[in-house]
Structures are given as structure tokens and as C-alpha cells.
């Protein structure tokens, strides 16, 4: 169930990000103003499915945690969440989630984007590495 939920989550994420899908939704469904909010709601629902499937998966640890792995894993999770949160706030939380219209700013080269092209994804990857260190189960590595 975990693998299926991940395939559906990531496939829908990729498909809904396509310009052709956005244009189709704007033309056929008149969702141009609310597309981002709909995308956020669909992603949240699918992410909830992933979390439920993860919680039902095996919890056998691949190695024993130590104080070092707990501290390192927690630090990586907190740092990754902070990087992602700062990037979302730089976008404007309301427009990122779809509550306000998205501004067309062109290529952003300041703030977190001055350091890395996709700071939200980078933060998520850092947090996921921390999660893997903190909870080294097969299910965690699959996610």
C-alpha cells in the first residue's frame, strides 16, 4: 500500500504541475484563479494517504539508534523544515497555497533561490535524510 500511495502521490504531483494540465483546467473547468488551491488540496489528501500507509508499514529498524543518530536526525529534520518554511514564506504563503493570486516574478535569484534552485524541495530532502537517520526502517527508506 505504501508504494502505491507514493506512486499516485508523485505521479499526480508531476502531472498537475504540467503547463498543459493547468491550461486545460483553466479553459475547461474555469479553475485558473483557484488551480493552485485545488492542487494544494489534492496534494494534501494524497499525502495523508501516504502517511496512513507509512504508519501501517513495518516498523522494524535497520539499525539501533544512538544518541548521536537521534541528535543528528533531529537536527537535519529541523534544518530541512526551516529551509522549506523560509522558501515558502519568500514566495508568500498565501500565493503558494493558492489563497491569493500568484505573482509572475520571473527568475528569482535572491534569498534561498540565490543558493539553490529549488529550496523547498531541498529542505524536504534534507528533512527526509534526517528522518531516515532518526527512524531507519524499510518504510522510511521507501518514502
pLDDT at site 53? 92
Global pTM value: 0.78
Residue pLDDT, tens place only, 40-89: 899 999 999 999 999 898 778 888 889 999 999 999 999 999 999 998 88
Q: How many Å apart are CA 142 and CA 73, to the nearest integer?
A: 17
Compare 33 and 47 and report the one with higher pLDDT.
47
16 Cβ contact list (under 8 Å, min separation 6): 22, 39, 42, 43
How far CA 100 is from CA of 16, 69, 75, in Å, comes to: 19, 41, 33
SS3 assignment, position 81: helix
pLDDT at site 89? 86
Q: How many Å apart are CA 13 and CA 129, to the nearest integer?
A: 21
User: 49, 13 in Cβ contact below 8 A?
Assistant: no
Amino acid at each position: 500500500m505504501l508504494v502505491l500511495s507514493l506512486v499516485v502521490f508523485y505521479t499526480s504531483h508531476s502531472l498537475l504541475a504540467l503547463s498543459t494540465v493547468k491550461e486545460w483546467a483553466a479553459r475547461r473547468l474555469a479553475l485558473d484563479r483557484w488551480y493552485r488551491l485545488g492542487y494544494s488540496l489534492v496534494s494534501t489528501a494524497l499525502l495523508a494517504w501516504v502517511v496512513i500507509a507509512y504508519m501501517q508499514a513495518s516498523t522494524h529498524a535497520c539499525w539501533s539508534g544512538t544518541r548521536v543518530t537521534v541528535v543528528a536526525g533531529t537536527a537535519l529534520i529541523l534544518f530541512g523544515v526551516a529551509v522549506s518554511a523560509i522558501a515558502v514564506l519568500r514566495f508568500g504563503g498565501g500565493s503558494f497555497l493558492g489563497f491569493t493570486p500568484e505573482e509572475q516574478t520571473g527568475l528569482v535569484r535572491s534569498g534561498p533561490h540565490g543558493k539553490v534552485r529549488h529550496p523547498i524541495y531541498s529542505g524536504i530532502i534534507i528533512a527526509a535524510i534526517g528522518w531516515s537517520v532518526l527512524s531507519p526502517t524499510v518504510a522510511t527508506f521507501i518514502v
